[in-house]
Amino acid sequence: MNWIGLKTLFMMEVGRTLAIPMQTILSPVISTMLYFVVFGSAIGGSVTLAGGVTYAQFIVPGLIMMALIINSLSASSSGIFFPKFMGTIYEILTAPLSYLEITIGYVFSAAVRAMAIGGIIYITALFFTPVPVAHPFIALGFSFLTAVTFALFGFLIGIWAENFEKLNIFPSLILTPLSFLGGVFYSLQMLPPFWQTVSLANPIVYMISGLRWSFFGVSDITPWTSFALICVFLSICSAILVWIFKTGYHLKP
């Protein structure tokens, strides 16, 4: 393992994030907190939840998970896309770094960025309402696993995308709608039976339910199901990435 090269690549991506904090950190935090203020304050008073959980508390795990997913994917996809777009990807591919080290550098830097944003959102939410965490280590572990998984997925998108339009298809047209329909602002129990069944086809539902269980000890879906699904998704993304590196798909002429 080339630790010096891996650290250099990791710090390069972290530096790219810190170079434009207004865009990479402050903007998603402000956007997420606006959701919290609008939905938590305007709607929260009219919604009653079981277990003594207020609506403002209820939406915090969903907002954190939505931020984790979107920002980890966006960070890693743009991180590998721009070297391809500018023609500097060959410098990275010819550096004394294995494909595994390149992947770890991009994916973990994106995951760390997403975790930092999630942490800031949680701390900011504490100024509005107390948010208990029943299982803090499980919450951290599940959050990091989800961030790594979607950073890996974003890495695949960055390799696949040939232009900015393709790069933005998944975050804007697929991931954001799935996040809003994934139970961020409501429990599946509030839906009619038919729509509860339909919602189970949305993978984001399982991510949000897993984190919500770690906060409150209750959720719409068992935490083991959520954990199993994210592990399956991680395995699929890893298998695709191995195939890409073996064939040179969209990496080599």
- The rounded average pLDDT for each run of 10 residues, N- to C-terminus, in the chain (253 residues) is 83 81 78 77 59 81 91 90 81 82 91 92 86 92 94 92 83 83 83 86 91 89 92 93 84 68
In Å, how far from its chain's centre is CA 196?
Answer: 23
Residues 6 or more apart from 55 whose CB is under 8 A from it? 39, 40, 43, 44, 45, 47, 49
For the chain, what is the largest distance between any 2 Cα atoms, rounded to a whole number of angstroms? 59
Q: What is the spatial distance between Cα 76 and Cα 151, in angstroms, rounded to a whole number?
A: 5
Q: What is the spatial distance between Cα 145 and Cα 165, in angstroms, rounded to a whole number?
A: 28
Which amino acid does the sequence have at 107? V
Q: Is 189 exposed, middle or buried, given 0-12, 13-18 or 19+ CB atoms closer than 10 A?
A: exposed
CA atoms within 13 A on the CB side of 148: 15
DSSP conformation letters of 126-168: TTTS----SSHHHHHHHHHHHHHHHHHHHHHHHHH-SSHHHHH
Q: What is the spatial distance between Cα 219 and Cα 217, in angstroms, rounded to a whole number?
A: 7
Any idea what DSSP says for residue 76? H
Structure confidence at residue 233 (pLDDT): 93
